[in-house]
Amino acid sequence: MKTLGTLDYAVFLIYFLIVAFYGWWVYRQKRAHKENSKDFFLAKDSLTWWAIGASLIASNISAEQFIGMSGSGFKMGLAIATYEWMAAATLLIVAIFFIPVYLKNKIYTMPQFLHQRYNSTVAMIMAVFWLLLYVVVNLTSILYLGALAIHSISGINLTACMYILAIFAIIITLGGMKVIGYTDVIQVFFLILGGLATTYLALDLVATHFGSSGVLKGFKLLTTQAEEHFHMILKKDNENYLDLPGLTVLIGGMWIVNLNYWGCNQYITQRALGADLKTARSGILFAAFLKLLMPVIVVLPGIAAYVLYKEGYGDFKTSMSQGGEVVPDTAYPVLLNLLPTGLKGLSFAALTAAVVASLAGKANSIATIFTLDIYKKVINKDAHEDKQVFIGRWAVVLSMLIAILIAPLLGIDKKGGFQFIQEYTGFFSPGIFAMFILGFFWKKTTSNAALFATVGGFALSVLLKFMPFVVDLQFLSASGFSKLVEQKDGSMLYEIPFLDRMGFVFLICMVVMYLISVFETKRGVVAKGLDIDSGMFKTNRSFTVGALIICGLLIALYTIYW
């Protein structure tokens, strides 16, 4: 039933008031000091390690995880958790190798890095690209999917849900990164507590349906009733192989997805760029531990929904069907509607917290890039600190309004939220990551090489995406790099899995960038290297111990659920 009870609204109101008053208190504390642009955009020297870690997770986990990843759990099982568990390993690499480079060279935005390392042309192209990507793809999908999920639980009008979420996020964002960072701690608390409540209910429902009780029994029943849903590495004959092509999730394109997202993304790295190295690394390590927990919250409910659907429990079959076809992305909302009054309000607050935190983080990144990399460099080079903060706040409001207007027109719900984001960002990720990784660690990389990665990487991604319509890729089938797939018109084509395609584009970009750089170096072109020394990559004992624990847990998980 798509309604919330009085107790549900009371629980949600408590969540709202806690976040609002705590955010107001943080803002009042901050106003006691003179605010400049670095305070507003980066919370310079203000966030603790636990605030950075919580903010990273709150900004990352949103409706596409709760709805889209639970839907993928329903469809393909635990294998989708590779996005979360491999992210934990990726965060360790970012903390050890990426963050020291940014902090040592006083880099506060990704376009600034490109300007400092390459030139203004590359920086401006990517600044505009990131703005378009963040507004047209990320902000819209987070807003629309969040509103869709809340509408499916509460019955509140979809458009009204979008406005409520946007206004809530704007209020938090206008306080700046410090307010976002510290309110994210509360958001993560509700996110995890509410998420675990839903997982508890889902596992208990499974146990009860089979005449038992308890979450441990429910989990054991999942592993037997949906045994095929507990394999992390999919075989080629699996219908979901195109989404997660076997070992590629361990040694291929999944690394590009995660390293680009966690290490070369303003939206994420911004949380750590205002801290010292020790604090930043500790925060990222904390986020890595939280990442290990996320599949319990966002994937297990989807697998439980699959078992209940298969068993014909309640009205699962009718609630999850549209036009005679099952819609996996409805798994999580259907589960939430089964929660008792009070717990439903807690889970409703968890979902809202995830959406609002992501919206606030994304809007702040949009404001940061627009203000510091476009407005300050092109429109008004003499803009003083107060003016920059003013422009940043207006950028937040306008980007949110644009997202509200265009989100219903993009067909996000038809594509599937998680797939929608991965599809569009995946065209650019390989080239961007190649440009960053060579820019970090090879001083001879030239600006023209970076320009090729920016434009050529996208062109190569498009070429490989549509190549099956021109060239028969059957010859790649034996190696596992193509699979025969039925098209909408009934025809059969050999397609390259998404993650493998990214791997190919990345390798081509790296080779071509190397050749361009070598050619230009021989002609006398001098590249602008960064200030790097081997000592900056050394970690302290506590970080090393934490990193080894995470690596051990990941090895154990993949060994058990291979």
List C-alpha distances in Å: 447 to 118, 124, 525, 529.
5, 13, 10, 11
3-state DSSP assignment of residue 268: helix
State residue 551's pLDDT score.
94
- Count other Cβ atoms within 10 Å, centred on residue 450: 30
- Cβ distance 127 to 266 under 8 Å? no
Angle, CA 88 vertex, CA 235 and CA 214 arms, to 5°: 75
Nearest to 348 by CA among 165, 182, 170, 137: 165
Q: Kindly state the tokens that stand for 226.
A: 């949906």
DSSP secondary structure letters along 408-467: GGTTHHHH-HHHHHHHHHTTTHHHHHHHHHHHHH-TT--HHHHHHHHHHHHHHHHHHHHG
Nearest to 373 by CA among 98, 134, 31: 134
Give CA–CA dist 532/529, Å, rounded. 9
Angle, CA 299 vertex, CA 295 and CA 301 arms, to 5°: 125
DSSP secondary structure letters along 487-520: -TTS-EEEE--HHHHHHHHHHHHHHHHHHHHHHH
Place of tokens 């675990």: 196
493 - beta bridge partners? 485
Local structure of residue 340 (DSSP, 8 states) = P
Torsion of CA 386, 392, 397, 398, to 10 degrees: 120
State residue 552's pLDDT score.
95
Question: Domain locations in the chain?
Answer: 48-418, 426-531
State residue 164's pLDDT score.
86
Q: Kindly state the tokens that stand for 474.
A: 């059957």
Give CA–CA dist 310/304, Å, rounded. 10
State residue 311's pLDDT score.
83
- Cβ distance 361 to 179 under 8 Å? no
279-332 pLDDT, tens digit per residue, is: 889 999 999 999 999 899 889 998 998 888 888 777 777 777 766 677 777 788
Place of tokens 């259907």: 334
Give CA–CA dist 527/369, Å, rounded. 24
Nearest to 387 by CA among 26, 40, 107: 40
Look up the CATH architecture of domain 48-418: Up-down Bundle (1.20)
List C-alpha distances in Å: 99 to 180, 262, 383, 528.
20, 10, 28, 19
State residue 354's pLDDT score.
75
3-state DSSP assignment of residue 321: strand
What is the identity of the amino acid at 230?
A: F
State residue 130's pLDDT score.
82
State residue 509's pLDDT score.
94
- pTM, full prediction: 0.83
Q: How far is CA 172 from the centre of its chain?
A: 20
- The distance in angstroms from the start CA to the end CA of the chain is 38
- With b meaning 16 or more CB within 10 Å and e meaning fewer, what string describes 144-165? bbbbbbbbbbbebeeeebbebb
CA-based radius of gyration for the chain: 23
Q: Kindly state the tokens that stand for 477.
A: 């089938």
Local structure of residue 484 (DSSP, 8 states) = E
Q: Kindly state the tokens that stand for 548.
A: 């080894």
Angle, CA 537 vertex, CA 536 and CA 538 arms, to 5°: 95
Q: Kindly state the tokens that stand for 452.
A: 């090729």
- Cβ distance 396 to 174 under 8 Å? yes
State residue 558's pLDDT score.
92
State residue 134's pLDDT score.
82
- Cβ distance 202 to 301 under 8 Å? yes
State residue 144's pLDDT score.
83
Give CA–CA dist 498/521, Å, rounded. 34
Place of tokens 């076809």: 325
State residue 495's pLDDT score.
76
Give CA–CA dist 57/294, Å, rounded. 9
3-state DSSP assignment of residue 348: helix
Q: Which helix (H) or strand (E) holds 307?
A: helix 300-310
Give CA–CA dist 432/262, Å, rounded. 13
State residue 195's pLDDT score.
80
State residue 546's pLDDT score.
94
State residue 514's pLDDT score.
94
Nearest to 244 by CA among 498, 25, 428, 437: 498
State residue 423's pLDDT score.
64
Give CA–CA dist 71/397, Å, rounded. 31
- Cβ distance 464 to 426 under 8 Å? no
Residues of the chain with pLDDT under 70: 1-3, 26-27, 29-46, 63, 175-184, 267, 271, 322-324, 410-424, 475-480, 482, 484, 486-492
State residue 478's pLDDT score.
65
Phi, psi of 326 (to 5 degrees): -75, 140
